[in-house]
C-alpha cells in the first residue's frame, strides 16, 4: 500500500475534480406520478382513463382573499382583470373565474345571458351574493362558503416538466404582484413541483452542512490532533463528493427523500473511517511499523468493513422490491453510496494514514482510559446480569409486538408538506375553505346500446352525485348532468330550485338538441367521443389513505345496491386513489424486502463464519431494532408510508455492521487460541470503543434530521437514531450472552 500511496492520492484528486463538475449537473424532480405503484391494474386503468379525457391534476388555482367580503367593486374588477391576463401565462390553456361566468337566459326572441356577478353595478351585489352562495356549481369551486375568497382556475398543459412549472410560476407570481390583493393562496401541480424541489435542495444542503459540522466536532473530540482530524474529515467529505458526482454523472434524479443521502454518506463514511483509523492506531501503539500497521488494518478491519458495507448495501437493495420508483431509486443510489464510501476509506484513507505516526493522529490520555473503564463495566455487567438481560429482551419483544399491531397506513398529503412554509399554509387554506387537493374520479361505462347522454343514463349518474353530495369531505362534484341542469334552470327563469335534471325525457331531448348546437360547452372533458364512457369529477379532503379507502368501499357497496348495472358500470379512479394504493404495496414489499435481506445477510455471514451457530448469533440481535422501529411507529401514531418505509432497510443495513465487527474480532481471537471468555473480553477492549463511537456518530448524525422542515425526514431521523442505539445495546449485551450459551471451549 505504501508503495502505491502517491498514485492513489493523485487518482482520488482527479476523481474529486471530475465529481465537482458533475455535482453541478445534478437533476432534481418532484412529481406525484413518481409515487404511482408500477404494474398495478388500477394504474393501467387510470392511464387509459386520462387518455379518454384529461389528467385530473392539470390545473393551478389562485385563491384571492378579501376578509371583508369579495363583493367590492374595486376587488372584483381586479379579479376580473387578473383572470383575463392569466390566459396569457405560459402553459395556461384557459382561465375561469366567477367574474367571467354568465347564466343563460331564455327570452321570447333568443337565448342570451346575464352575468353571475354584475361587476359594474354594486346595487345588485347583495342579490348576486345570495344567489351565488346557494349555487352548488360555484360554492367551494369559485367562491368559499363565507364569500371572502374568489378563485381563478387556470387549466394547464398535461405532464408539465419542472422547467415548465418554474416558467409558469415565475410569470404567475410576477402577475400577482401587479395587483393589490390582500391575501393570495395557490394550489396546483406547477406550484408543488417548484416548491418541493426547492425544499429538496435546501434539505440536502442543510443536512450536509450540519452533519459535516457535527462530525467535525466529534473527530476533534476523538483525535485532538490536526492530522487525525484532517485525514478523517477529508476522507468522509471525499466519499460524499464522489457519491454526489456519481449521481450527477449517471443522470440520477434527486427526489423527495434525497435529503437522506448526505447524512447517510457522512455517517457511513465516518463509521468506516473510525474503524480503520482505530485499528491503525492500535497497531502503531503495539510497536508495529507504519507499513505493517496498514497491512494488518486492511487485512482485519478491511475485510470486516467490506462485509459490513455489503450487508448495508443489501439492506438498501431490499428496496428494489418496492413498486414505487423513488423508493427503488433510493435503494440503488444508497447501495452505490455505501460501496463508494468503502472504497474511499480502504484506498484513500489508508494511503493518507501511512504518512503519519500515532502522536500525529491522536492525542492519548484520560479519554482513552474513560473508554476502557466504560467497556470493562459493560463486560462485567453481561457476566453478572445475564438473567436480567434475557428477561428484559423477552419483555421488549412482547412490548414491540403490541406496538407493531397499532401501525396505521392512514397516509395524508399534509403529513408530507414542509413545516412553516407558504405552500403548506396554502394547502391548509384550500382544505379548510374550498375543495381540497385530492382528485377523486368515477369512470362511468354505459352498457349495451346505451350512450352517456341518454336520459336514463344521466339519471343514474345523478343518483351517484346526490350520494356524494351527502359526504361532507367530498366537494367540487361535477359531470355531464350539470349541462342539462343548467339548461333546465334557464327555461325556469334561472330559479335556484330548478337546477335539476328535466322531469321528463321529452323535455330532456329538447335541451339535448340545444346543447348539441353549442360547441362552447366542451363536453369532451365529461364524455368521450364514442359516448360510451363518462366521468364524475370531484375532490376529497385529505382525511387519510385508510379513511378514503373505507369511504371507497362504502361507495362501491352503495353503487352495487342502488345503481342499475344494466345501464352503467362504475369504477373509482384518480391520482389520489393510485397514490393511496402505495400503502398496501409498502406493507407487502417491506416484509418481502426484509425477508430477502435477512436471507442475503445470513448467506454472507455463513461465508464469513462458516458456522451455523455463529450465523444464528449474528442475526438475532439485529432483529430487535427492526421490532423496536415498528413498535415506535405504532405507539407514536406515525403512518407507514413511502418515505418512512425506508427506515427498516436503513436500520437493518447499518445495525448489522456492529455485530460483524464484534464477531469478526471474536473469531480472530479464537483463531489465536484464546478461550471463549478471554476472546469476548479482548473483543470488548479492542472493538468496543469503535462500536460505541460509531453509534454515537450515527445517533447524532441522524438526529440532525429533526431540524428538517420535511416531516417524513424528521420521522426517519428520530426512528433511526433511537433504534440504532438499541442495536448497539443489543450487540454489547446480547451477543456476549448468546456466545456464552452456544459456543463452548473444547475439553482439554
Q: Which pLDDT score is estimated for 520? A: 41
Higher pLDDT, 576 or 63: 63
655 and 515 in a common domain: no
- For the sheet containing 183-188, what is the strand order? 92-97, 149-156, 59-65, 183-188
Residue 587 has a pLDDT of 62
Residue at a domain's end among 529, 562, 580 = 580
Distance CA 6, CA 367 (A): 33
Task: Report how far residue 101's alpha carbon sits from residue 138's, in angstroms, rounded to the nearest whole number.
Answer: 10
Confidence of residue 302 (pLDDT cuts 50, 70, 90): confident
* pLDDT-derived band at 56, boundaries 50, 70, 90: low
Distances in Å between the Cα of 527 and the Cα atoms of 451, 478, 481 are: 10, 12, 11
* Three state DSSP letters for 616-634: HHHHHHHHHHHHHHHHHHH
Question: Given 526, 552, 580, which residue is the final one in a domain?
Answer: 580
Residue 594's pLDDT band, with cuts at 50, 70 and 90, is low
Q: For residue 581, what pLDDT band results from cuts at 50, 70 and 90?
A: low
Of residues 63 and 260, which shows the higher confidence score?
63
Q: Are residues 232 and 376 in the same domain?
A: yes
pLDDT, greater one: 192 or 253: 192
Question: Quick check: 669 pLDDT over 70?
Answer: yes
What pLDDT, on a 0 to 100 scale, did the predictor assign at position 152? 93
Tell me, yes or no, whether 572 and 593 share the same domain. no
**Mean per-residue pLDDT, 406-435:** 83
Q: Please give the pLDDT value at position 62.
A: 94
- Considering only 22-36, 203-217, 629-643, which range has the smallest mean pLDDT? 22-36
pTM: 0.76
Q: Do the Cβ atoms of 199 and 421 come closer than 8 Å?
A: yes
Please state, as a whole number, how many other Cβ atoms lie within 10 Å of the Cβ of residue 525: 14
- 395 plus 472 within the same structural domain: no
Q: Is residue 422 part of a domain?
A: no
Q: 694-720, pLDDT tens digit by residue?
A: 788 778 777 877 888 878 778 888 888
What does the pLDDT read at residue 521?
A: 44
| 218 inside domain | no
> What is the per-residue pLDDT across 189-245, written as a single tens digit (0 to 9) for each?
889 888 878 887 787 788 778 877 887 887 787 777 788 888 888 998 899 899 999
Is 73 in the same domain as 16?
no
Residue 747 has pLDDT above 60, yes or no: no
Q: In this predicted model, what pLDDT tens digit does every residue of 340-384 receive, in sequence order?
A: 988 998 889 888 888 887 777 777 655 567 777 888 888 899 888
- Is there a single domain that holds both residue 576 and residue 588? no
Residues 476 and 623 in one domain: no
Name the nearest CA neighbour of 490 among 106, 137, 107.
Answer: 106
For 724-735, how does the pLDDT look when each residue is reduced to its tens digit (9 = 90+)?
A: 888 888 888 888
Q: What is the pLDDT of residues 166-185, one digit of tens each?
A: 899 999 999 999 998 989 99
Q: 200 lies in a domain?
A: no
CA distance 42 to 589: 18
The CATH number for 86's domain is: 3.30.310
- What confidence tens digit (pLDDT) does each residue in 271-297 have? 788 878 888 887 887 888 888 888 888
d(CA 587, CA 546): 13
Indicate whether 685 belongs to any domain: yes
CATH code for position 622:
1.20.1640.10
Q: pLDDT of 80-128, one tens digit each?
A: 999 999 999 999 988 999 998 887 766 666 566 778 888 888 999 998 8
523 lies in which domain range?
438-541+543-580
137 C-beta neighbours (distance < 10 Å), count:
18
Same domain membership, residue 598 and residue 575: no
Residue 40 lies in a domain: no
Position 68 pLDDT exceeds 70: yes
Neighbouring-strand partners of residue 115: 102
Section 533-560 average pLDDT: 87
Please identify which residue in the block is written with the cell numbers 385530492.
438
Q: Are residues 23 and 88 in the same domain?
A: no
In the predicted structure, residue 327 carries a pLDDT above the cut 50 = yes
Specify whether 464 is located in the same domain as 395: no
493 within some domain: yes
pLDDT of residue 364: 62
Instruction: Note the pLDDT of residue 537.
Output: 86
End position of a domain, from candidates 580, 602, 636: 580
pLDDT confidence of residue 590: 63
704 belongs to a structural domain: yes
Give residue-wise pLDDT tens across range 557-573. Answer: 999 999 998 999 998 88
Q: What is the pLDDT of residues 264-278, one digit of tens each?
A: 788 788 878 887 888
* DSSP code for 567: T
Domain shared by 469 and 379, yes or no: no
What's the number of domains the chain is made of?
3
Flag whether pLDDT at 582 surpasses 70. no
pLDDT at 467: 92
CA distance 403 to 722: 15
What is the DSSP code (8-state) at residue 503? S
The answer to whether the Cα torsion of 669, 672, 675, 681 is positive or negative is negative
Write down the pLDDT at residue 516: 67
**pLDDT at residue 107 in the model:** 63
Q: For helices 646-671 and 303-317, what crossing angle results, to 10°?
A: 160
pLDDT greater than 50 at residue 519 = no
Domain co-membership, 319 together with 464: no
Which pLDDT score, from 0 to 100, does residue 482 have?
84
Evaluate whether residue 648 is within a structural domain.
yes
Amino acid at each position: 500500500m505504501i508503495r502505491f500511496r502517491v498514485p492513489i492520492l493523485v487518482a482520488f484528486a482527479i476523481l474529486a475534480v471530475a465529481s465537482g463538475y458533475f455535482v453541478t449537473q445534478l437533476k432534481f424532480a418532484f412529481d406525484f406520478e413518481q409515487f404511482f405503484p408500477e404494474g398495478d391494474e388500477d394504474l393501467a386503468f387510470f392511464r387509459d382513463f386520462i387518455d379518454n379525457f384529461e389528467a385530473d391534476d392539470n390545473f393551478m388555482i389562485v385563491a384571492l382573499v378579501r376578509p371583508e367580503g369579495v363583493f367590492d367593486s374595486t376587488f372584483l374588477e381586479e379579479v376580473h382583470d387578473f383572470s383575463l391576463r392569466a390566459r396569457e401565462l405560459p402553459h395556461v390553456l384557459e382561465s375561469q373565474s366567477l367574474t367571467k361566468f354568465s347564466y343563460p337566459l331564455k327570452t321570447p326572441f333568443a337565448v342570451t345571458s346575464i352575468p353571475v356577478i354584475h361587476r359594474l353595478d354594486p346595487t345588485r351585489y347583495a342579490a348576486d351574493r345570495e344567489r351565488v352562495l346557494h349555487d352548488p356549481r360555484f360554492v367551494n369551486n369559485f367562491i368559499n362558503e363565507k364569500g371572502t375568497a374568489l378563485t381563478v382556475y387556470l387549466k394547464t398543459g398535461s405532464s408539465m416538466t419542472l422547467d415548465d412549472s418554474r416558467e409558469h410560476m415565475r410569470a404567475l407570481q410576477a402577475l400577482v404582484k401587479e395587483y393589490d390583493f390582500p391575501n393570495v393562496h395557490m394550489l396546483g401541480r406547477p406550484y408543488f413541483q417548484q416548491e418541493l424541489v426547492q425544499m429538496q435542495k435546501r434539505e440536502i444542503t442543510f443536512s450536509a452542512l450540519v452533519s459535516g459540522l457535527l462530525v467535525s466536532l466529534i473527530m476533534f473530540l476523538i483525535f485532538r490532533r490536526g492530522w487525525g482530524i484532517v485525514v478523517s474529515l477529508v476522507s468522509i467529505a471525499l466519499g460524499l463528493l464522489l457519491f454526489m458526482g456519481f449521481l450527477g454523472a449517471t443522470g440520477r434524479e434527486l427526489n423527495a427523500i434525497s435529503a437522506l443521502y448526505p447524512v447517510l454518506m457522512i455517517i457511513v463514511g465516518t463509521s468506516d473511517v473510525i474503524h480503520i483509523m482505530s485499528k491503525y492506531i492500535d497497531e502503531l501503539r503495539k510497536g508495529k511499523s507504519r507499513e505493517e500497521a496498514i497491512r494488518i488494518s486492511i487485512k482485519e478491519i478491511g475485510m470486516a468493513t467490506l462485509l459490513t458495507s455489503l450487508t448495508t448495501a443489501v439492506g438498501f437493495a431490499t428496496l428494489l422490491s418496492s413498486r414505487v420508483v423513488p423508493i427503488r431509486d433510493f435503494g440503488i443510489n444508497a447501495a452505490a453510496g455505501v460501496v463508494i464510501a468503502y472504497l474511499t476509506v480502504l484506498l484513500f484513507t489508508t494511503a493518507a494514514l501511512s504518512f503519519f505516526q500515532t502522536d500525529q493522529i491522536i492525542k492519548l490520555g484520560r479519554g482513552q482510559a474513560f473508554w476502557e473503564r466504560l467497556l470493562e463495566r459493560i463486560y462485567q455487567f453481561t457476566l453478572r446480569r445475564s438473567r436480567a438481560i434475557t428477561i428484559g429482551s423477552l419483555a421488549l419483544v412482547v412490548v414491540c409486538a403490541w406496538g407493531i399491531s397499532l401501525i396505521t397506513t392512514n397516509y395524508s398529503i399534509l403529513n408530507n408538506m414542509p413545516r412553516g412554509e407558504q405552500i403548506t399554509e396554502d394547502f391548509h387554506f384550500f382544505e379548510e375553505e374550498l375543495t381540497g387537493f385530492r382528485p377523486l374520479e368515477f369512470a362511468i361505462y354505459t352498457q349495451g346500446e346505451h350512450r352517456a347522454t341518454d336520459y336514463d343514463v344521466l339519471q343514474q349518474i345523478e343518483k351517484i352525485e346526490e350520494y356524494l353530495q351527502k359526504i361532507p369531505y367530498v366537494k367540487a362534484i361535477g359531470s355531464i348532468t350539470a349541462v342539462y341542469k343548467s339548461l333546465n334552470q334557464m327555461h325556469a327563469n334561472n330559479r335556484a330550485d330548478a337546477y335539476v335534471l328535466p322531469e321528463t325525457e321529452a323535455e330532456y331531448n329538447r335541451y339535448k338538441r340545444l346543447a348539441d348546437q353549442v360547441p362552447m360547452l366542451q363536453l369532451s372533458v365529461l364524455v368521450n367521443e364514442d359516448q360510451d364512457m363518462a366521468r364524475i369529477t370531484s375532490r376529497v379532503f385529505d382525511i387519510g389513505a385508510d379513511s378514503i379507502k373505507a369511504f371507497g368501499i362504502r361507495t362501491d357497496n352503495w353503487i352495487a345496491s342502488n345503481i342499475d348495472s344494466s345501464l352503467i358500470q362504475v369504477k373509482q379512479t384518480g391520482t389520489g386513489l393510485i397514490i393511496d394504493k402505495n400503502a398496501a404495496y409498502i406493507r407487502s414489499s417491506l416484509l418481502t424486502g426484509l425477508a430477502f435481506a435477512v436471507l442475503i445477510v445470513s448467506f454472507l455471514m455463513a461465508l464469513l463464519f462458516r458456522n451455523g451457530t455463529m450465523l444464528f448469533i449474528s442475526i438475532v440481535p439485529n432483529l430487535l431494532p427492526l421490532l423496536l422501529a415498528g413498535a415506535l411507529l405504532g405507539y407514536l401514531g406515525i403512518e407507514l408510508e413511502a418515505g418512512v418505509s425506508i427506515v427498516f432497510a436503513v436500520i437493518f443495513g447499518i445495525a448489522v455492521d456492529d455485530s460483524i465487527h464484534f464477531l469478526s474480532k471474536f473469531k480472530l481471537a479464537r483463531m489465536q487460541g484464546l478461550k471463549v471468555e478471554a476472546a469476548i473480553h479482548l473483543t470488548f477492549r479492542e472493538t468496543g470503543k469503535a462500536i460505541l463511537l460509531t453509534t454515537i456518530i450515527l445517533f447524532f448524525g441522524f438526529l440532525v434530521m429533526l431540524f428538517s422542515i420535511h416531516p417524513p425526514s424528521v420521522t426517519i431521523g428520530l426512528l433511526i437514531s433511537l433504534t440504532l442505539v438499541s442495536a448497539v445495546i443489543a450487540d454489547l449485551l446480547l451477543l456476549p450472552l448468546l456466545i456464552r450459551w452456544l459456543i463452548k471451549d473444547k475439553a482439554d
